Chains A and B, each alone.
Chain A
Amino acid sequence: MDEVFRNEGSEAGVSSTFRDHLFVSMLREEGWLVDSERSIRTSSHLETGHASTTHTDGKVVVRAVSGLEIRDLSSWIDLSRADLENRLTEPLQTLEPDIIKPLLQSRGQIKIRIRSDSRLVSTGNIARFHDATTITVAVGRDGHETSIVTTPSSLREDLARTMALLSRGSGAATAPASLPILWTNGSAAVLMHELIGHPSEENWPLTRLPEWLEVRDDPFSPGPGHAPYDDTGQRGRTSVLSDGGRPSSLRRESFRDPPILRMTHLTVTQNGAPLPLPEVRIEVSLVDGGGWDRLTDEISLRVATAEIVEGTSRKMLAPFSFKGSRGEIASRIIGANADSVRYPGVICSREGQRLAVGSSSVDLLVSGGAQ
Chain B
Amino acid sequence: MIGPSLPPARSGIMPEQIYRKSGTTSRVELHNGRISIVEIEEIGESHDSIEHFSSRTLSTQSRSETNIGERTTAALASADQFKASVPGSLVLERLVLLSGRADHSIVHEGKANEWTESFERLHISLMHPEARERVEVEVGGSSLDMIDRETITSIASLLARMDREPVTSRELNLSLEPVVAAALWAALTPWILGGAPGGASGPTLDQSIHPELAHDGNGLIIAPKRLFGIEGGARWSELPNMFRPSYRAKPVSMPFHLRANPIRSDVHGDYEAHALLQRFIWTPVGLAAKLLCRSRNSDSVFASTIVMTPERWLQSVVGIDSEMTWFPNLAGTYGSRTLIRIP
Partners in one complex: yes
The distance in angstroms between the C-alpha atoms of A41 and B49, with both chains bound, is 12
| Bound Cα distance from A256 to B36, whole angstroms | 12
Indicate whether A60 reaches chain B with its CB closer than 8 angstroms.
yes
User: Is A85 an interface residue when CB atoms closer than 8 A count as contact?
Assistant: no
Within B113-158, the residues touching A (CB, 8 Å) are 127, 129, 132-134
Q: Are A294 and B93 in contact (CB under 8 A)?
A: yes
Q: Which residues of A contact B93 (CB under 8 A)?
A: 294-295
Given contacts A66-B44, A68-B59, contact A295 B38 (CB under 8 A): no
CA distance A341 to B312 in the complex (A): 50
Complex CA distance for A42 and B55, rounded to whole angstroms:
12
CB contacts under 8 Å to B, within A157-207, are 202
Chain A interface category by residue count: 20 to 34
Closest 4 CB pairs of A and B: A67-B59, A258-B36, A66-B42, A66-B57
Docked complex Cα distance between A47 and B40 (Å): 14
Given contacts A43-B54, A47-B56, contact A64 B40 (CB under 8 A): yes
B51 and A60 form a contact (CB under 8 A): no
Taking a contact as CB atoms under 8 Å apart, the answer to whether A63 and B250 are in contact is no
- Interface contact B39-A64, CB-CB below 8 Å: yes
B51 with A49: CB separation less than 8 A? no
The main secondary structure of chain A at its interface with chain B is strand
Known A49-B42, A258-B29; contact A59-B37, beta-carbon cutoff 8 A: yes
- A69 CA to B57 CA, complexed, in Å: 12
Contact B250 A43 (CB under 8 A): yes
**How many Å from the CB of B94 to the closest CB on chain A?**
8
Find chain B residues with CB under 8 A from A61 CB: 36-39
* B170: interface (CB < 8 Å): no
- Interface assignment of B248: CB less than 8 Å from any CB of chain A: yes
- Interface residue A95 (Cβ < 8 Å from any Cβ of B): no
When the two chains form their complex, are residues A295 and B41 in contact, meaning their CB atoms are under 8 A apart?
Answer: no
Q: Does B172 contact A (CB under 8 A)?
A: no
Q: How far is the CA of A68 from the CA of B59 in the complex (A)?
A: 6
Residues of A with C-beta under 8 A to B129: 295
18 contacts between A and B (CB under 8 A): A40-B51, A42-B51, A45-B54, A45-B248, A46-B54, A49-B42, A60-B35, A61-B37, A62-B36, A63-B39, A64-B40, A66-B58, A66-B59, A67-B57, A67-B58, A295-B132, A295-B134, A351-B94
Chain B interface SS verdict (over half)? strand
Check if A17 is an interface residue, CB within 8 A of chain B: no
A263 to B129 alpha-carbon distance, docked (Å): 26
Q: How far is the CA of A66 from the CA of B63 in the complex (A)?
A: 11
Given contacts A42-B52, A62-B36, 19 further A-B contacts (CB under 8 A): A43-B250, A46-B54, A46-B55, A46-B57, A48-B57, A48-B59, A49-B57, A59-B36, A62-B39, A64-B40, A64-B41, A65-B41, A65-B42, A66-B40, A67-B43, A67-B60, A257-B38, A258-B36, A294-B93
A257 to chain B, nearest CB (A): 7
Q: Considering only CB atoms, which chain B residue lies closest to A352 in the complex?
A: B96
Q: Is A349 an interface residue (CB 8 A)?
A: no
Q: How far is the CB of A5 from chain B (nearest CB, A)?
A: 25
Assembly CA distance A62 to B41 (angstroms): 11
Q: For B133, what are the chain A residues with a Cβ–Cβ distance below 8 Å?
A: 295
In the bound complex, what is the Cα–Cα distance between A60 and B55 (angstroms)?
29
Q: Is A296 in contact with chain B by the CB < 8 A criterion? A: yes
Q: How far is the CA of A41 from the CA of B29 in the complex (A)?
A: 36
Cα distance, A202 to B32, chains bound together (Å): 8
Query: How far, in angstroms, from A67 to B54 measured CA to CA in the complex?
Result: 16
Within 8 A of A (CB), among B34-89: 34-44, 51-60
Contact across chains for B35 and A66 when beta carbons are under 8 A apart: no
State the Cβ distance, B190 to closest chain A Cβ, in Å. Answer: 16
Chain A residue at minimum C-beta to C-beta distance from B37? A61
Q: Which residues of B contact A58 (CB under 8 A)?
A: 35
**Is B296's CB within 8 Å of the partner chain A?**
no
A62 touches B250 (CB 8 A): no
- Give Cα A49–Cα B60 distance, bound, in whole angstroms: 10
Contacts of B44 in A (CB 8 A): 66
A106 within 8 A of B: no
> Does A7 reach chain B (CB closer than 8 Å)?
no
Say which residue of A41, A43, A60 sits within 8 Å of B34 (CB atoms). Answer: A60
- Give bound CA distance, A305 to B133, whole Å: 32
Q: Considering the complex, give the chain A residue whose CB is closest to the CB of B132.
A: A296
Residue in A43, A60, A260 whose Cβ sees the most chain B Cβ within 10 Å: A43
Within 184-236 of A, Cβ neighbours of B (below 8 Å) are at: 202
Q: How far is the CA of A132 from the CA of B216 in the complex (A)?
A: 37
Q: Is the CB of B56 within 8 A of A45?
A: yes
CB neighbours (8 Å) of A36 from chain B are: none
Q: Is A371 at the interface (CB under 8 A from chain B)?
A: no
CA distance A217 to B176 in the complex (A): 46
Q: Per-position contact with B for A241-273: 1 when CB-CB < 8 Å, else 0?
A: 000000000000000111010000000000000
When distances are taken between beta carbons in the complex, the residues of chain A under 8 Å from B38 are 61-62, 64, 256-258
Who on chain A is nearest to B36 by CB? A258
CB-nearest residue of chain B relative to A33?
B51
Against A, the Cβ 8 Å flags (1 = close, 0 = not) of B7-44 are 00000000000000000000001011011111111111
* Min distance, Cβ A148 to any Cβ of chain B, angstroms: 23
With known contacts A61-B37, A256-B40, A296-B132, A42–B53 Cβ distance under 8 A: yes
Chain A minimum-CB-distance residue to B39: A63
- Min Cβ gap A247→B in Å is 15
Chain B minimum-CB-distance residue to A259: B36
**Residues of A contacting B35 in the complex (Cβ-Cβ under 8 angstroms):** 58-60
User: Quick one: closest B residue to A49, CB to CB?
Assistant: B57
Task: Give every chain A residue within 8 A of B43 (Cβ-Cβ).
Answer: 66-67
Contact with B along A53-77 (1 / 0, CB 8 A): 0000011111111111100000000
By a CB distance below 8 angstroms, the chain B residues around A153 are none
A61 to B, closest residue via Cβ:
B37
**Minimal beta-carbon separation of A323 from chain B (angstroms):** 14
Distance of A352 Cα from B129 Cα, bound (Å): 23
With both chains docked as a complex, state the minimum distance between the C-beta of A295 and any C-beta of chain B, in angstroms.
5
- Please tell me if A331 contacts chain B, counting CB pairs below 8 Å: no
A287 to chain B, nearest CB (A): 21
Interfacial residues of chain A within 327-358, with CB under 8 A of chain B in the complex: 351-352
